[in-house]
């Protein structure tokens, strides 16, 4: 079963999720993975760029969790995995609203991990470096990075890869959602080729 909803629309998202739970019988795992990203210097961030990024990347995740947590409680517990980013663990330049939203997800996950532990619900974040997807290959950075070359190393991975593959993130999510991770909660799990270790 599949359904389409905008994470900014809490009512539509809740309706789509409710229908899925009715059709499938229960909800055990939630993967909150919605994001947009633009590249620009701080002074080129418009009100629209800021609001769209926060609405999708942070508030959209909140809407997803608001809609899903009651179903997880009704199922007797489960796992929530939120996709953050290396930008949720360090201050990557030229991505201001994205970094703010991704840091916010860490706080959200850690808070809910504490609040929901007695409901047998685990909450963790995954923090990819660049991933070989269309979003991981965004354009618009021409000239920006060159304007401040001393910041270039902050984007470099320790391992000699520019991007990881989507399956690397999938495998991390599968682990965190599985019973093998039954005592893992409130964790920020980097899958970043050593990026946050630099």
For residue 136, tell me if it sits in a domain: yes
* pTM for this prediction: 0.93
Answer yes or no: is 125 within a domain. Answer: yes
Numbers of helices and strands, H then E, in the chain: 6, 4
**Domain presence at residue 53:** yes
Evaluate if residue 137 carries a pLDDT over 90: no
Residue 141 has pLDDT above 80, yes or no: no
Is a pLDDT exceeding 90 seen at residue 175? yes
How does strand 121-128 pair with strand 188-191? parallel
**H or E stretch at 123:** strand 121-128
pLDDT digits (tens, 9 = 90+) for 177-196: 999 999 999 999 999 999 99
Flag whether 4 is in a domain: no
Confidence of residue 136 (pLDDT cuts 50, 70, 90): low
**Residue 3 domain-assigned?**
no
Would 5 be classed as within a structural domain?
Answer: no
Number of domains in the chain: 1
Tokens representing residue 89 in the block = 């663990």
Which structural domain, as residue segments, surrounds residue 55?
10-18+27-193
pLDDT tens, position by position, 49-77: 999 999 999 999 999 999 999 999 999 99
Would the CA dihedral through 97, 98, 103, 104 be positive or negative? positive
Which residues are known catalytic residues? 98
98: domain CATH number?
3.40.50.720
Question: How far, in Å, CA of 34 to CA of 7, rounded?
Answer: 8
């Amino acid at each position: 079963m599949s359904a389409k909803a905008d994470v900014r629309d809490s009512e539509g998202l809740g309706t789509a999720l409710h229908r899925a739970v009715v059709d499938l019988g229960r909800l055990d795992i939630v993967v909150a993975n919605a994001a947009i990203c633009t590249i620009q210097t701080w002074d080129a961030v418009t009100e629209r760029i800021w609001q769209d990024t926060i609405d999708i990347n942070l508030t959209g995740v909140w809407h997803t969790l608001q809609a899903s947590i009651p179903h997880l409680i009704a199922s007797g517990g489960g796992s929530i995995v939120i996709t953050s980013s290396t930008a949720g663990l360090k201050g990557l330049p030229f991505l201001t609203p994205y970094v703010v939203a991704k840091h916010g997800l860490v706080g959200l996950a850690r808070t809910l991990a504490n609040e929901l532990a007695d409901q047998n619900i685990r909450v963790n974040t995954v923090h990819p470096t660049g991933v070989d997807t269309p979003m991981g290959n965004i354009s618009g950075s021409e000239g920006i990075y060159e304007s401040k070359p001393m910041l270039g190393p902050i984007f470099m991975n320790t391992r000699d890869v520019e991007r990881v593959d989507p399956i690397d993130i999938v495998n991390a999510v599968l682990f965190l959602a599985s019973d093998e991770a039954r005592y893992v909660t409130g964790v920020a799990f980097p899958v970043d080729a050593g990026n946050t270790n630099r």
